[in-house]
């Protein structure tokens, strides 16, 4: 069960954020703020306390706070984001992490290792780590080394099509796994009860489980129905403006 979440308000500069889908247009900042408000309220409905950090105008992508830290029940790891324009975001996250974790339980990914939190999926005490354009093998190795100190384990997963591991995977606890794209046939995830997401709703692979409820992006009825069929209460949040920056529901918070 999660007790806390950390989020960061979107900056006005988000309209200049990194994107692989310029055809979707630039984000509407005022609408993004309203969607962020709704996101925070939905997290609270799941029974967590939400720490809201101020916007960082110097970093257009800084609302995607998941990428700059890994938070577990016992330790935190501040990452080294793979996109150089995001590296300074780790300075902004450090005080927030220090408010929740003792200094000896805070670790860092050091260069030449790179790691984005969007490439890290927690399944109990085991962590799957995507090797992507943002996360390299050295970064994954450092994370696994830190996790091992606390009796946790990890393994690297090669990506070929998606930006981040959690672009196409979401663990919903109870051995249930949302899976799309290249991971549907991956032998790595054979042991899970897979909920397969069709290509036309691929964005909705990025859902988040929070204390028994599952938050799903707005506009994906087949995904919503499939999750409800497994007995979960579904909460819907519109993330249209964050999708324009390759961002989804998990990207917008640290949950621990």
Residues with active-site annotation = 164, 251
Helix/strand/coil (H/E/C) assignment for every residue in 4-64:
EEEEECCCHHHHHCCCCCHHHCCCCHHHHHHHHHHHHHHHHHCCCEEEEECCCCCCCCCCC
Rounded Cα distance between 139 and 91, Å, is: 18
What are the beta bridge partners of residue 71? 76
What count of residues does the chain have? 256
| CA 12 from centroid of its chain's CA atoms | 21
Q: Which residue reads 């984000």 in tokens? A: 27
Whether 235 and 214 have beta carbons less than 8 Å apart is answered as yes
Rounded Cα distance between 207 and 205, Å, is: 6
């Amino acid at each position: 069960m999660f007790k806390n979440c950390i989020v960061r308000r979107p900056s006005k500069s988000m309209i200049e954020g990194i994107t692989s889908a310029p055809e979707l247009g630039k984000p509407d900042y005022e609408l993004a703020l309203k969607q962020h408000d709704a996101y925070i309220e939905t997290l609270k409905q799941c029974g967590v306390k939400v720490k809201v950090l101020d916007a960082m105008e110097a970093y257009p992508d800084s609302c995607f706070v998941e990428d700059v830290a890994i938070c577990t029940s016992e330790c935190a790891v501040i990452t080294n984001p793979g996109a150089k324009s995001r590296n300074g975001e780790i300075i902004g996250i450090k005080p927030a992490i220090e408010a929740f974790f003792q200094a000896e339980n805070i670790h860092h990914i050091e260069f030449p290792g790179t790691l984005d939190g969007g490439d890290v999926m927690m399944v109990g005490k085991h962590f799957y780590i995507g090797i992507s354009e943002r996360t390299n093998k050295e970064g994954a190795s450092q994370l696994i080394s830190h996790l091992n100190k606390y009796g946790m384990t990890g393994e690297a997963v090669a990506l070929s099509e998606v930006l981040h591991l959690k672009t196409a995977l979401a663990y919903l606890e109870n051995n249930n796994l949302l899976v799309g794209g290249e991971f549907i046939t991956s032998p790595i995830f054979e042991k899970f009860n897979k909920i397969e997401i069709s290509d036309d709703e691929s964005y909705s692979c990025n859902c988040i489980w929070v204390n028994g409820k599952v938050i799903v992006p707005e506009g994906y009825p087949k995904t919503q129905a499939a999750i409800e069929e497994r007995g979960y209460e579904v909460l819907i949040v519109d993330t249209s403006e964050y999708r324009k920056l390759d961002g989804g529901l998990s990207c917008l918070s640290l949950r621990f």
